[in-house]
Amino acid sequence: MPRPSRLPQPSSTASLILKRTRTRPVLGIILGSGFGPVASAVEVEQEFAYRDLPGFPIGGAPGHAGRLVLGRLGGIPVAVLCGRAHYYEGFEPAEVTFATRVLAALGVRDLLVTNAAGGIHPRFKVGDFMILTDHINLMGMNPLRGPVPEGCARFVDMTRTYDEGLRSELEAAARSVRLTLRKGVYLAVSGPCFETPAEIRAFRTLGADAVGMSTVPEVIVARQCGLRIVGLSCITNAAAGLGGKAQVVSSEEVLEVAKKREGLATRLVMAFAARLAT
Ligand code: HPA
């Protein structure tokens, strides 16, 4: 028999939040590396530290604040997860995705997931933004393994995971801030080491355009919860073996590039939220 989860019901954490906020969010946003400053564009109505929210994991990745912010962005009510827990930190899949279930229980209909990723597509440049058209899960785990939450499906359809309508809105938002968006397939690995050049060649053969260590668990759970999903990567580095002879892939480079692009990332996410308002 599977071990019973130590986690609370996401709905009980959601009710606690809803009791302390007037915001009824329609859009959930998960801010990954390089997207943190998006939170400063929110007209904040209420915020919580993750440590005050039962079941929320306290991650330690740099640039991941560990705050849930509720308020308005681009004129619509939003719930923003500033920072995520990663599988590579040692969290269980259910812990990594707990906050996503809470967003669904708060009543959000749409979810924007963001991350930093290594570029695999030969035309991608460092600093590009990529809208996710699909993903490949090579994390070696699935967050839906185990007991089925009440009202959820056991076997979840993953065709058209990334919503066409939301993708068009994100593309239109990008045009409005004069940004050319790339499109592609995000491949998720567990990390925490970066990939070998041979792995990256293999991933290219598999159809991947970018590689990262997050997002896919949350997306799978969001899909089980029936949310409409849109995904955005900041390409912070050439994936291993694609950056020239002297290349070293480092988290310093990832964070440095993400930092340079955070202003544009913020304008893009604001413009996207504003489009959902109309
Ligand atoms: N590989 C995996 N994860 C990443 C990378 C990478 O090259 N860049 C940013 N996150």
Give the residue extent of every domain in the chain.
Answer: 10-277
CATH number of 10-277: 3.40.50.1580
Q: How far apart are the CA of 106 and the centre of ligand 1, in A?
A: 31
Indicate the pTM of the whole model.
0.95
pLDDT score, position 2 = 55
From ligand 1's centre to the CA of 25, what distance in Å? 31
Pocket lining for ligand 1, CB < 6 angstroms: 116-118, 194-195, 211-213, 236-237, 239, 249, 254
d(CA 100, CA 76) in angstroms, rounded, equals 19
Residue 72 has pLDDT above 90, yes or no: yes
**For residue 62, what pLDDT is reported?**
61
Query: Which of 113, 195, 257, when mutated, tests ligand 1's pocket best, judged by the most ligand atoms within 8 Å of its CB?
Result: 195
pLDDT of residue 245: 85
Check residue 122 and give its pLDDT: 96
pLDDT at 248 > cutoff 90: no
Confidence of residue 94 (pLDDT cuts 50, 70, 90): very high
Tell me: pLDDT of 63 over 70: no
Which whole number is the average pLDDT over 22-27?
Answer: 96
Which of the residue ranges 65-79, 124-138, 218-232, 240-254 would you say has the lowest mean pLDDT? 240-254
**Residue to mutate (ligand 1; options 86, 125, 190, 213; most atoms within 8 A of CB):** 213
- What is the chain's mean pLDDT, rounded? 93
Q: Measured in angstroms, how far is the CA atom of residue 117 from the centroid of ligand 1?
A: 4
Residue-level pLDDT at 258: 86
What local confidence, expressed as pLDDT, does residue 5 receive?
A: 67
pLDDT value at residue 3: 56
Using pLDDT thresholds of 50, 70 and 90, give the confidence band for residue 49. Answer: very high
Residue 60 has a pLDDT of: 67
> Which residue has the CA at smallest separation from atom 2 of ligand 1?
212
Mutate to test the pocket of ligand 1, among 138, 211, 253 (most ligand atoms within 8 A of CB): 211
Measured between alpha carbons, how far is 44 from 123 in angstroms, rounded to an integer?
38
> pLDDT by residue (tens digit) across 8-20?
999 999 999 999 9
Atom 5, ligand 1: residue with shortest CA distance:
118
Q: Tens of pLDDT along 178-214?
A: 999 999 999 999 999 999 999 999 999 999 999 999 9
* Residue 126 CA, ligand 1 centroid: distance in Å: 12
Question: Nearest to residue 114, comparing CAs of 277, 261, 276?
Answer: 261
